[in-house]
Amino acid sequence: MVWQEDIRPLLALINRIRHEPWSLYRANELEDIKLFGYDATAQRLDNVQDELKNTQFVLQKINAGKKPVKSPTYVERPGSKTNTTQQPTSLDDVGSFFAGA
């Protein structure tokens, strides 16, 4: 058997870098350094925290009667951009708002 050079495993590893959660390349490509190390486990933990806060809010709302209840603040996830779009102030601005201008 003659040994032959094969770079396919190396190419497979290089191509995998963009999908690994601990890849700095992935975080830079997605333009958010907070995504470095953010994997499925961290995402599930964020979801659990949000559901606990939501459950507490519902229970407070049920038991508060007519008292106002502060809505929960959810966990900020990396990659989620805040809405910086200004709302239209008049009917004339609505067309440009939906056009993205």
Per-residue pLDDT tens for 32-85? 888 888 888 988 999 999 999 999 999 999 998 888 999 999 988 887 766 556
What Å distances lie between residue 44 and 27, 80, 83, CA to CA? Answer: 19, 15, 23
Q: How far apart are CA 46 and CA 48, in angstroms?
A: 5
Question: With contact defined as beta carbons under 8 Å apart, do 56 and 48 qualify?
Answer: no
Contact 18, 25 (CB under 8 A): yes
CA distances 18 to 15, 22, 42, Å, are 6, 10, 18
Claim: this prediction has a pTM higher than 0.75: no
